[in-house]
Chain A
Amino acid sequence: MEGTAVRGRLTWQTGKVSSVADETPTTRTIMLDLAGWAGHRAGQHLDVRLTAEDGYSAERSYSIASAPGEPVAITVQRIEDGEVSPYLTEELRAGDELEVRGPIGGYFVWDGGPSPVLLVAGGSGVVPLRAILRHRERTGSPAPMTLLYSVRTLPDVIYRAELDGYPDARVLYTLTREHPAEWAGLTGRVDQAMLGSLAFPSEQRPTAFVCGPTPFVEAVAESLVALGYPARQVKTERFGPTGDANG
């Protein structure tokens, strides 16, 4: 899998928060104005650095929520005992400066192409997958695309209005904790039976992008391999078991 590396230095740059928008009670999208941004690919992430008055600093990585060519946006899920995410979701406001560097990562990315794409999200794992959906929409890509999004309750769905508005991408929610009485959609955890009923068959040579908490990603990736997806066509991004790796 090794090849020729692209060697370039990633430097920290200071951007300005152009706007913030709450997506759900625990997630917020932060739009950034970054003069020196070199562009990004759908699925990449960036690093954020916060610095206190005494020089103490904390860094975390966040997936980029916007499509290539759009201003950089991140969507942050608040982790109650976290250090960085409560600041980003509660304190930061339009006009503030924010130090970032990126884009980072070149594996969990989708650049286009005609093959079918299966996106499987657990919770805030939808963020980089939303960038992929937006990229498809903006470029008019003919790639068949399905998003299966596992979430506890309907109000926890991030980007719902946008996701429901894609004319020819298939978007399915599965509600794992509770659902409205009139809910006609999927319920329960993603398992092999659910995936088998809606995933592109392996003969169509699909690529799968799976992002979410570790147990979720483990279960989905194993199910896809069992359904005949080659392991190399199943790309994963995971959070820590307690979420603290993403705090």
Chain B
Amino acid sequence: MSPVSRGFHGKRREAPDKASRVPPGQYLTEGFPVLSAGPTPHARQQDWTFAIRQGGQELKSWTWPQMRAQPTEQVTADIHCVTRWSKLDTHWQAVSIDTLLAQVKHDAKYVMAYCDGGYTTNLPIADVTNGQAWLAFGYEDKPLEPEHGGPVRLLVPHLYFWKSAKWVRGLDLLDHDRPGFWETYGYNMYGDPWKEQRYAGD
């Protein structure tokens, strides 16, 4: 039971129609804050590739034109950052991870997304399939800006947004779970915002 903070009343209480869409401990923002651990990489489209690997072997890779030739989906999603901002009804132009995984043969249980700049994050395969995860190259009908993860970021909106890795370059298919970058530093292995799984052990 939390102690009452003397003289605190709160003033960001959300309207009832939106409150049900805001996970515990979060507040709504209209902006699009940026959080990253290091400098922003600037991959050029002509140099960009995306690979799916398993056991050190590349199963398949796509160049930028090959990726853009995949079916594009319009995704509308609410996003939730572990630093406590949430943003409703964001619009993305993206390729479903289902579309890509359908082109390789695998029996993986987990994936590790890896990125320019060395960032990684781990996800269960069940959370990046069945229409729950995408490679996003467009945001609000414009090319995704580098500071928001462009040219391409992962989009997994049902988990805290650090799982939606910026500057993503591939997925390593794994048969067991391993911590990625923030997970190594004490953040939760799974990151369900509705269960407030911010840190290890939450």
- When distances are taken between beta carbons in the complex, the residues of chain A under 8 Å from B147 are 214, 218
Give chain B's interface residue range (CB within 8 Å of chain A). Answer: 35 or more
Q: Is B98 an interface residue (CB 8 A)?
A: no
Q: Establish whether residues B201 and A52, one from each chain, have CB atoms under 8 Å apart when the complex forms.
A: no
Return the chain B residue nearest A222 by Cβ. Answer: B39
Return the chain A residue nearest B117 by Cβ. Answer: A231
Q: Establish whether residues A52 and B36, one from each chain, have CB atoms under 8 Å apart when the complex forms.
A: no
Q: Considering only CB atoms and an 8 Å cut-off, how many residues of chain A contact the other chain?
A: 55
- When distances are taken between beta carbons in the complex, the residues of chain A under 8 Å from B13 are 56
- How far is the CB of A106 from the nearest CB of chain B, in Å? 4
Q: In whole angstroms, what is the CA distance A235 to B13 when docked?
A: 34
- How far is the CB of A62 from the nearest CB of chain B, in Å? 11
Q: Establish whether residues A231 and B3, one from each chain, have CB atoms under 8 Å apart when the complex forms.
A: no
- How far is the CB of A214 from the nearest CB of chain B, in Å? 5
Q: Establish whether residues A236 and B39, one from each chain, have CB atoms under 8 Å apart when the complex forms.
A: yes
Q: Establish whether residues B40 and A5, one from each chain, have CB atoms under 8 Å apart when the complex forms.
A: no
- How far is the CB of A93 from the nearest CB of chain B, in Å? 9
Q: In whole angstroms, what is the CA distance A91 to B8 when docked?
A: 8
- When distances are taken between beta carbons in the complex, the residues of chain B under 8 Å from A247 are 27
Q: In whole angstroms, what is the CA distance A142 to B39 when docked?
A: 27
Name the contact of B5 in the complex, choosing from A7, A97, A214 (C-beta under 8 A): A97
Given contacts A97-B3, A105-B185, contact A240 B37 (CB under 8 A): no
Return the chain B residue nearest A224 by Cβ. Answer: B39
Given contacts A7-B200, A10-B201, A239-B33, contact A2 B39 (CB under 8 A): no
Given contacts A2-B122, A234-B38, A241-B32, contact A58 B10 (CB under 8 A): yes
Name the contact of A106 in the complex, choosing from B81, B122, B185 (C-beta under 8 A): B185
Leading 8 A-B pairs by shortest Cβ distance: A9-B201, A240-B33, A106-B185, A221-B39, A245-B33, A5-B179, A51-B2, A50-B5
* Interface residues in chain A, defined as those with a beta carbon under 8 Å from any beta carbon in chain B: 1-10, 12, 14, 49-53, 56-61, 83, 87, 91-92, 96-99, 104-108, 214, 218, 221-222, 224-225, 231-232, 234-236, 238-242, 244-245, 247
